[in-house]
Amino acid sequence: MSTPVLEAPGRANPARDHGRIGGGLLDPRQLLTSLPGAVKKLNPGTLWRNPVMFIVEIGAVFTTVLAVLDPSFFAWAIVGWLWLTVVFANLAEAVAEGRGKAQAATLRAAKRDTTARRLKNRSAPGQWDTVGWDTVGAGELRQGDFVVVEAGETIPGDGDVVEGIASVDESAITGESAPVIRESGGDRSAVTGGTKVLSDRIVVQITQKPGESFIDRMIALVEGASRQKTPNEIALNILLAALTVIFLVTTLAMQPLAIYSKAQNPGVPDSLALTADGVSGIVLVSLLVCLIPTTIGALLSAIGIAGMDRLVQRNVLAMSGRAVEAAGDVSTLLLDKTGTITLGNRQASEFVPATGVGADELAAAAQLASLADETPEGRSIVVYAKQWYGLRERQPGELAHAEWVQFTAQTRMSGVDLAPDPGTPGAGARLVRKGAATAVMKWVRENGGHATEEVGHIVDGVSASGGTPLVVGEISGGKARVLGVIHLKDVVKQGMRERFDEMRRMGIRTVMITGDNPLTARAIAEEAGVDDFLAEATPEDKLALIRKEQEGGRLVAMTGDGTNDAPALAQSDVGVAMNTGTSAAKEAGNMVDLDSNPTKLIEIVEIGKQLLITRGALTTFSIANDIAKYFAIIPAMFAAVYPGLDTLNIMRLTSPQSAILAAVVFNAVVIVVLIPLALRGVRYRPSSASKLLSRNLYIYGLGGIIAPFIGIKVIDLLIQFLPGMS
């Protein structure tokens, strides 16, 4: 019998609906508004951090001087486009940063200077109102201070509730308007500075250091101010710097060869590109800028900022870019069963009738007995009966002469007593009960019936498979009997198996963590399709499992919210703390999910991978582009002395000037064209490494070879009419 799967709640995520990880689209206006910032970034004092673009800027300065000394339309056109190349690169970064700035502004509003009522001492718990307080600025609070916050006040700093319970409006950081409950003790004690208490009164112990509040960190993160280069980004920068050095040498070393070649062909007149002094400075710089990996160099930091931004858009705060990158490398995912893999409520999944009882009869009785049961289990029985037995849901008021028996902890049963139908003479009252196996069987026995051994076996079987058995009994016509057993089980969220299959294809092992016994755990693990499970897990077991995985060289990601999760969160490579969790958990993890949705771990992994893929793809594209640029520039420089080299001009570009200018223009324009891609990230679908590589090689490798041939040709066709191009 198959299991009905119910729609998982709390997964409202529009971005996933169309094609995996999306990102905010680029609004063309953003380009304009970011322009002043881009120009400001021309300052060499900051630009030198990006060695590729720094070289371009030096080249731009150098050619500007040359153009001033020996002006021509061609020279000024090249100079203009070289400067634009640098500006476009800065623009990419500025746009990426600009998207975070809006968020930062909202956060800053929440951070307005608040005052705090700091308790003078808190030696006697529960008597805070007698010890008195000082009114101090929020900035003066130190770790360990106690403050009291009442309805209508803003919580002055991050901390834990140590007394009281309150509803808190956290919309300032989560964007979620529904208030949440925060109470002392337990896993819901953490409060965030800048959020507002809506009711009641709480005492909060401050846990943050001054100026290091959660909001401070959020602001820094979304603005990209504290962005540190991630390990892979550093490695890529080194590779790009090496390529830049090679092309610098290639270009400069060409000069004596060019001088020699020109001298060997004295009959050839000087051209704009080549004179007796060798290749002109403007052309030399043009070649250099076209060859060095400007595309990826320009977009690299935008890719990193946008990656963090994509997380922020999903309400996930990564405390470091390193953690985002590590997410892409994760090979083991630890997932809590309840709330992540299963819905957390037990649901009816099967009706097992006793001998002599029809399945429909049992279903009808089970439904009848559950109509008044408003617990999730009770509702699930009604829903199941409707779905699988076509039984219309009846309202309790529909049945005449029915007396509803509510579920109580004492009776552990619910049901209905139906008065004898006056239309059917001789019929006695009908009583239907549903509830815990022992309770219902006792009820049947007490009313003269006897529970068969068979029912005992069914009940044991359900328990053994990890489910919860409920027994349905009735007294009809004075005869008491057991009708059958309802199999309740923890229901796996919809689509989890597919997600885990995807994970497996990506090379990620999923491990379910549960407090259930191994039997139950195994059953759910099999149903959900996870690779492994850890049953009866204690925090120590979790920590040990993480250590074991890490010793084998694997990177581990997990989610957690409780204080007892903190050690494991700290040990894991990617520890996502739920925002509802304790401060200890949030402190220990390297990401916080403001929606407190543990399933998001899977998306975080995808974003991490997408970040790396985007960098790799654009690096490939950038290098592949060079081939076409050579075909444009080499004949333009040397076909005058060696006419044979004009064979390389396979694009049949109009003139040497137009060829060189077209290559430079293409090189600059491609940066702007690719800004949306850098911000959005390369499309990512979970699949094996081989398939991913093939796909990306075709698009960005082969595409990177072909695209500039077309682009340069088109630009050449457009600019050939400009003065000095023929």
Partner 1 sequence: MSDNTAGILFIASLVVALVLTHKPLGDHMYRVYSGVRHSAVERVVYRLLGVRPEAEQKWGVYARSLLAFSVMSLLFLYGLQRLQDKLFLSLGFPPVTGHLAWNTAVSFVTNTNWQAYSGESTMGHLVQMAGLAVQNFVSAAVGMAVAIALVRGFARKKSETIGNFWVDLVRGTLRILLPIAFAGAIVLIAGGVVQNFSAPHTVTTLTGGVQHITGGPVASQEAIKELGTNGGGFYNTNSAHPFENATSWTNWVEIFLILLIPFALPRTFGRMVGQLRQGYAIVSVMAILALAGVVLTNVFELSGDATVPQAVGAAMEGKDVRFGVSNSATFAAATTLTSTGAVNSFHDSYTPLGGMMTMFNMMLGEVAPGGVGAGLYGMLVLAVITVFVAGLMVGRTPEYVGKKIGAREIKLASMYFLVTPVLVLVGTAVAMGNRAGLAAMLNTGPHGLSEILYAFTSASNNNGSAFAGVTVNTPWYDVALGLCMIFGRFLPIIFVLALAGSLAGQAPVPESAGTLPTHRPQFVGMVVGVTVIVVALTFLPALALGPLAEGIH
Residues of this chain, 291-330, that bind partner 1 according to CB under 8 A:
291, 325, 328-329
What sign for the dihedral angle of Cα 478, 480, 481, 486?
positive
Residues 6+ apart with CB under 8 A from 17: none
Q: Specify the amino acid at residue 487.
A: H
Q: How many CA atoms lie within 13 A of 704 on its CB side?
A: 23
Q: Specify the amino acid at residue 156.
A: P
DSSP strands (E only) in 430-467: 430-436
Looking only at residues 475 through 494 of this chain, which bind partner 1 when binding is defined by CB under 8 A?
none
| Binding letters toward partner 1, positions 258-287, x by CB under 8 A | xxxx--x----------------------x
Output 219 or 284, the one with its CB closest to partner 1: 284
Q: How many CA atoms lie within 13 A of 31 on its CB side?
A: 14
Looking only at residues 97 through 126 of this chain, which bind partner 1 when binding is defined by CB under 8 A?
none
Output 505 or 547, the one with its CB closest to partner 1: 505
Q: Is 460 a catalytic residue?
A: no
Closest CA to 30 of 97, 95, 100: 95
- The CA distances from residue 26 to 95, 100, 499, 675, 680, in Å, are 9, 13, 29, 8, 8
Output 137 or 644, the one with its CB closest to partner 1: 644
Closest CA to 303 of 229, 244, 238, 225: 229
Size of the site for partner 1 (CB under 8 A): 77
Q: Report helix angle 73-110 to 294-313, nearest 10.
A: 20
| Active-site annotation holder among 336, 490, 595, 716 | 336
Output 261 or 342, the one with its CB closest to partner 1: 261
CB of 197 to partner 1, least distance (A): 43
Q: Are strands 591-593 and 316-318 parallel, antiparallel or unpaired?
A: antiparallel
CB of 706 to partner 1, least distance (A): 14
The token duo for 218 is 């959020």
What sign for the dihedral angle of Cα 652, 654, 660, 664?
negative
Looking only at residues 243 through 262 of this chain, which bind partner 1 when binding is defined by CB under 8 A?
245-247, 249-261
SS3 percent helix, strand, coil of the chain, rounded to 5, is 50, 20, 30
Output 241 or 427, the one with its CB closest to partner 1: 241
CB of 59 to partner 1, least distance (A): 17
CB of 337 to partner 1, least distance (A): 23
Looking only at residues 585 through 644 of this chain, which bind partner 1 when binding is defined by CB under 8 A?
608-613, 615-617, 619-620, 623-624, 626-627, 630, 634, 638, 641-642, 644
Q: In the set 83, 128, 700, 709, which binds partner 1 (CB under 8 A)? A: 700
Q: Locate tokens 């919809």: which residue?
A: 494
CB of 242 to partner 1, least distance (A): 3
Looking only at residues 646 through 685 of this chain, which bind partner 1 when binding is defined by CB under 8 A?
647-648, 684
Looking only at residues 184 through 243 of this chain, which bind partner 1 when binding is defined by CB under 8 A?
231-232, 234-236, 238-239, 241-242
Q: Specify the amino acid at residue 661.
A: L
CB of 388 to partner 1, least distance (A): 37
CB of 663 to partner 1, least distance (A): 14
Looking only at residues 497 through 516 of this chain, which bind partner 1 when binding is defined by CB under 8 A?
504-509
Q: In the set 75, 173, 362, 692, which binds partner 1 (CB under 8 A)? A: 692
Span near partner 1 by CB under 8 A; candidates 16-24, 220-228, 652-660, 694-702 = 694-702
CB of 254 to partner 1, least distance (A): 4
Output 372 or 648, the one with its CB closest to partner 1: 648
Output 322 or 493, the one with its CB closest to partner 1: 322
Looking only at residues 510 through 569 of this chain, which bind partner 1 when binding is defined by CB under 8 A?
551-554
Closest CA to 418 of 406, 434, 435, 400: 400
Rg of the chain (C-alpha set): 35
Span near partner 1 by CB under 8 A; candidates 76-84, 200-208, 520-528, 693-701 = 693-701
Output 263 or 717, the one with its CB closest to partner 1: 263
- Residues for the chain: how many in total? 726
For 685, the 3-state DSSP assignment is coil
DSSP state of 701: I
Q: How far apart are CA 329 and CA 362, in angstroms?
A: 51
Q: How far apart are CA 56 and CA 287, in angstroms?
A: 11
The set of catalytic residues is 336
